[in-house]
Amino acid sequence: MAVVGRRGGSAFSSAVRSFFSYRIFVSAMFTLLFFATASVLFSSNPAHLSDHNNELQTTGRAYVHRTFLALKSDPLKTRLDLIHKQASDHIVLVNAYASYARKLKLEISKQLRTFDDMAQNFSDLGLKPTYRGTLFESDGPVDEEVLKQFEKEVKDKIKVARLLIAENKESYDNQLKIQKLKDTIFAVNELLIKAKKNGAFASLIAAKSTPKSLHCLAMRLMGERIASPEKYRDEKPKPEFEDPSLYHYAIFSDNVIAVSVVVNSAVKNAEEPWKHVFHVVTDKMHLAAMKVWFKMRPVGGGAFVEVKAVEEFTFLNSTYVPVLRQLESAKLQKLYLDNKAENETTDAQNTKSENTKHLSMLNHLKFYLPEMYPKLHKILFLDDDVVVQKDLTALWRVDLDGKVNGAVETCFGSFHRYAQYLNFSHPAIKDKFNPKACAWAFGMNIFDLDAWRHERLTDQYHYWQDLNEDQTLWKVGTLPPGLMTFYSTTKSLDKAWHVLGLGYNPSISMDEINKAAVIHFNGDMKPWLDIAMNQFKNLWTKYVDSEMEFVQMCNFGL
């Protein structure tokens, strides 16, 4: 039994030794295979040392052969490979910092030149004949002295590289952060510009569209006219409508609520309202609504209101009026449609020419005042987006020095000069007008109709309108032809008479507004729109007849 036990124990020990010997052999084989595979991979992608094939020279076959030799017999070969890898890694790092410097536009900086020189020094080191022949192109044993010298030079350069990187790392990190912040700011600014354009376009749509409340009011008034025709029969013209001794106003609009505010504000601030006559002209579609309003809500203080349609002035036909003739022209229609299509692809500021208001005869009626009111000597023209805050009778006593138009000038510095409204590359403009002449505003203008007739300025207006059929003198609007027609015949009024900009400029001081006789909501943000500026809106709404039942029903949001 003892013999059997000893034999069994001996067999067991032999099996264990065989098992561990097999494990060691397999581990050795896998280790050798791993190093061989890694060597092949590294040799197939040798580290580049410069942009001109300057590298620590290796060839794939020699490198693999040297690696096997290192594993088998020469530890210096392994050491050489490690030094080679360290040098390659630091070349990559130095080149990375050099690329950062180029990205940050530091090409002429000392740091960039230092990084480039260091990368080149690493490359040149591997190309030295002593190292190249002894260490990289030889299949024989490595010379330890040469290897030590090579290692010393490599480590010296690595040390310098690390010091340089350490010195500049924070600076480059900060520069990269600054550049990233600049890129972010630029991107946000682009988004802001886009948002502003979209906002401007949305505001333009809101400004040029008819609000539901205005449409509702006109329909309610029309319904009242249809329901009770006997209440709203036309009356005979009153003699006051042609009495030149009274104070006459001209208001041309299709906006019922806006006209009512102009008339109401003027009457409430007039010292003698019974001497004031308001001539309201609208289009045929809004005539009934306008008449019903002033019949239902008579003007207080004994003031007079005449409401007429533009079609009642029969002399305003296409034979006499260039604008009407041009509207019938296929050439102008094509030009207008072409401009509209072009503007649809540009920003919102250019879409002004799409606004058909500029083609409406109501907008051009102010050029025919002497013929519309032949018995009057003077008349005050008011836009429908103004509010009267003081008695205006002193305007009829202003000495115009023989000129036709009394208006407030709008220029300051280089802004609002004739050059901004007219095409001075056109010879007819260049020869006739001064580009630096100061522009003035329509909206509150006192006209001497007798001087107008004497100067034959309506003919002058016709001349310029005919000449601009192809829109080469000016693009759109009535201010450019007004500036031309009343050039040298306009008297500048004190700015307190007429303060403009309440429809686009939020920075107008309340002190300036309170001193003004007339405030003007010119611009897109009209006071009857939701986009109106809140700080100015109450200046308009306080003159709205909010007790009128149709105003309440149509939800003006007052």
Give the mean pLDDT of 524-534.
Answer: 89
What is the pLDDT at residue 347? 43
Please report which confidence band the pLDDT of residue 501 belongs to, taking 50, 70 and 90 as the band edges.
very high
Give the mean pLDDT of 226-239.
Answer: 91
Asked, for residue 121, whether it belongs to a domain, the answer is no
What is the pLDDT at residue 470? 86
Extract the tokens encoding 187. 């991107």
- Look at 51-55, 158-162, 367-371, 454-458 and tell me which has the smallest mean pLDDT: 51-55
What is the pLDDT at residue 346? 43
- Look at 181-195, 329-343, 421-435 and tell me which has the smallest mean pLDDT: 329-343
Q: Which long-range contacts (CB under 8 A, 24 or more apart) does 283-289 make?
A: 283/254, 283/309, 283/310, 283/311, 283/360, 283/361, 283/362, 284/309, 284/310, 284/311, 285/254, 286/218, 286/254, 286/256, 288/221, 288/222, 288/225, 288/232, 289/217, 289/218, 289/221, 289/222, 289/225, 289/256
Asked, for residue 407, whether it belongs to a domain, the answer is yes
Asked, for residue 72, whether it belongs to a domain, the answer is no
In the block, which residue shows the tokens 């003004």?
516
| Strands 405-407 vs 490-492: parallel, antiparallel or unpaired | parallel
Residue 212 vs residue 42, higher pLDDT: 212
What is the pLDDT at residue 112? 57
What is the pLDDT at residue 36? 46
Give the mean pLDDT of 270-287.
Answer: 96
Asked, for residue 227, whether it belongs to a domain, the answer is yes
Highest mean pLDDT pick, 134-138, 346-350, 399-403: 399-403
How high is the mean pLDDT of the chain? 79
- Closest Cα to residue 310, out of 262, 360, 355? 360
Over residues 442-462, the pLDDT tens digits come to 999 999 999 999 999 999 999
Tell me how many domains the chain contains.
1
Please report which confidence band the pLDDT of residue 43 belongs to, taking 50, 70 and 90 as the band edges.
very low
What is the pLDDT at residue 256? 95
What is the pLDDT at residue 476? 83
Extract the tokens encoding 318. 């296409």
For residues 211-244, one letter each, b for 16 or more C-beta atoms within 10 angstroms of the residue's C-beta and e for the rest, the string is bebbebbbebbbebbeeeeeebeeeeeeebbeee
Asked, for residue 469, whether it belongs to a domain, the answer is yes
What is the pLDDT at residue 117? 66
pLDDT at 293 over 70: yes
Asked, for residue 387, whether it belongs to a domain, the answer is yes
What is the pLDDT at residue 54? 42
What is the pLDDT at residue 342? 47
Give the mean pLDDT of 507-530.
Answer: 94
Extract the tokens encoding 201. 């376009």
Asked, for residue 11, whether it belongs to a domain, the answer is no
Please report which confidence band the pLDDT of residue 184 belongs to, taking 50, 70 and 90 as the band edges.
confident
What is the pLDDT at residue 207? 57
**CATH number of the CATH domain containing 417:** 3.90.550.10
What is the pLDDT at residue 344? 43
In single-letter form, the type of residue at position 216 comes to: C
**What is the distance of C-alpha 179 from the center of its chain?**
25
Asked, for residue 114, whether it belongs to a domain, the answer is no
What is the pLDDT at residue 165? 67
CB 118 within 8 A of CB 186: no
- Closest Cα to residue 294, out of 255, 267, 260? 260
Extract the tokens encoding 30. 């896998």
What is the pLDDT at residue 77? 65
Please report which confidence band the pLDDT of residue 183 belongs to, taking 50, 70 and 90 as the band edges.
confident
What is the pLDDT at residue 208? 64
What is the pLDDT at residue 187? 86
What span, in angstroms and rounded, lies between the C-alpha atoms of 47 and 22? 38
What is the pLDDT at residue 418? 96
The parent domain of residue 427 ranges over 212-337+356-554
What span, in angstroms and rounded, lies between the C-alpha atoms of 173 and 365? 68
Residue 221 vs residue 77, higher pLDDT: 221
Over residues 61-119, the pLDDT tens digits come to 444 455 544 444 566 667 667 776 777 776 776 676 666 666 555 444 555 566 666 66
What is the pLDDT at residue 335? 58
Burial of residue 507 (number of CB atoms within 10 Å: 0-12, 13-18, 19+)? exposed
pLDDT at 213 over 60: yes
pLDDT at 3 over 80: no
Q: Return the DSSP state at 360.
A: S
Residue 166 vs residue 259, higher pLDDT: 259
